[in-house]
C-alpha cells in the first residue's frame, strides 16, 4: 500500500510591491499554489502576468455580502476569504448565491475592532500596521482604566490617583455595565507604565473594550 505524503503549501509574502516590477519575488519557478491579495490594482496586474496561478481574495478586502463575492468571481478570483464579522446565516446565503466560488472563513482568533482590515487601534496604540502583518492585538491587552479630566492646557489627566481599588471601581461601573461615569477615561497597559490613551465614552459605554474571541470550531460541520 503506497505511503501518502502530506502536501505542503508554499506561501509567498511580500507586503510592499513596486508596481513597475510586480514579477520580482513571485516567479513561476516558485510555483505557489495561489496568491492572496486584497488590492484591486495588484489583482488586475497580476492577472496579466500569472494567468495560470490561482488568485485568492484576502480577508483584508472586507468582503461582507454575496454581491461582492460575485463581483470578485468576475475578476478571476478563485477563493474569497470572508470577513470574520459575518454570521453563519450570512455565510450560508453567500454559498447559496455564489455556489461556484470557494469560500474560506476563520474559525479561531480575535475579532477586530472594526470590519476586517480597517482596524486603526494597533497603529494608534503601538504604531504597528496590521495590513503589514505587525498587529500587536491592542484590542486584547489588559488595560487599567482611570477616570480623567481635561486641564487648562488641554491635556487629559487622571482625576484620582490610580490604585487597584479605584481602577476596579471605575472599570466595573463604566465598562461592564455600560453606564459611563465620566466623559473621558485613560487606558493604560500594565506592561507600559506611564503611557496613557484617552478614550471617550458614549451613552452605551466604551466600544473599544468589547472584543470577543472568534470561536466557530464547533460549527465547522455546518
Residue 67 sits in the same domain as residue 165:
no
Per-residue pLDDT for 1 more than 50?
Answer: no
CB of 137 within 8 A of CB of 114? no
Residue 17 lies in a domain: yes
Residue 81 lies in a domain: yes
Residue 87 sits in the same domain as residue 160:
no
Residue ranges with strand state E in 45-153: 54-57, 79-81, 102-104, 108-110, 144-150
Residue 150 sits in the same domain as residue 97:
no
CB of 104 within 8 A of CB of 69? no
CA distances from 111 to 106, 118, 165 (A): 10, 12, 30
For residue range 58-103, what is the model confidence (pLDDT) as tens digits?
A: 998 989 999 999 999 999 999 999 998 888 899 999 999 999 999 9
pLDDT at 89: 92
Per-residue pLDDT for 38 more than 50?
Answer: yes
Residue 35 lies in a domain: yes
User: Total domain count for the chain?
Assistant: 2
Which residue, 9, 47, 6, is CA-closest to 30? 9
Residue 90 sits in the same domain as residue 178:
no
Domain holding 29, by residue range, is 1-105
The predicted model scores a pTM of 0.56
For residue range 119-167, what is the model confidence (pLDDT) as tens digits?
A: 667 776 777 776 677 777 777 788 888 888 878 887 778 886 555 555 5
Residue 14 sits in the same domain as residue 94:
yes
| Single residue among 105, 129, 160 that ends a domain in this structure | 105
Residue 90 sits in the same domain as residue 180:
no
Which residue, 81, 142, 78, is CA-closest to 106? 81
Residue 43 lies in a domain: yes
Per-residue pLDDT for 172 more than 90?
Answer: no
Residue 83 sits in the same domain as residue 15:
yes
Cα distance between residue 16 and residue 133, in whole Å: 11
| Single residue among 59, 90, 105 that ends a domain in this structure | 105
Q: What percent of the chain has pLDDT over 70?
A: 61
Amino acid at each position: 500500500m503506497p505511503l501518502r505524503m502530506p502536501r505542503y503549501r508554499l506561501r509567498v509574502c511580500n507586503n510592499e510591491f513596486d508596481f513597475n516590477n510586480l514579477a520580482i519575488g513571485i516567479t513561476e519557478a516558485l510555483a505557489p499554489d495561489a496568491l492572496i491579495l486584497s488590492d484591486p490594482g495588484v489583482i488586475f496586474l497580476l492577472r496579466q502576468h500569472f494567468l495560470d496561478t490561482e488568485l485568492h481574495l484576502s480577508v483584508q478586502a472586507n468582503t461582507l455580502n454575496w454581491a461582492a463575492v460575485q463581483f470578485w468571481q468576475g475578476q478571476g478570483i478563485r477563493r474569497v476569504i470572508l470577513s470574520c464579522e459575518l454570521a453563519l446565516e450570512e455565510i450560508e446565503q453567500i454559498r447559496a448565491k455564489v455556489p461556484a466560488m470557494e469560500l474560506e472563513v476563520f474559525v479561531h482568533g480575535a475579532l477586530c475592532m472594526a470590519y476586517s482590515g480597517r482596524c486603526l487601534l494597533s497603529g494608534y496604540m503601538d504604531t504597528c500596521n496590521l495590513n503589514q502583518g505587525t498587529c500587536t492585538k491592542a484590542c486584547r491587552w489588559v488595560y487599567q482604566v482611570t477616570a480623567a479630566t481635561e486641564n487648562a492646557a488641554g491635556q487629559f489627566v487622571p482625576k484620582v490617583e490610580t490604585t487597584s481599588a479605584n481602577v476596579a471601581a471605575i472599570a466595573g461601573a463604566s465598562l461592564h455595565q455600560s453606564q459611563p461615569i465620566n466623559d473621558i477615561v485613560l487606558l493604560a497597559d500594565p506592561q507600559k507604565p506611564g503611557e496613557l490613551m484617552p478614550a471617550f465614552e458614549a451613552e452605551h459605554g466604551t466600544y473599544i473594550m468589547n472584543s470577543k474571541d472568534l470561536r466557530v470550531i464547533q460549527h465547522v460541520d455546518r
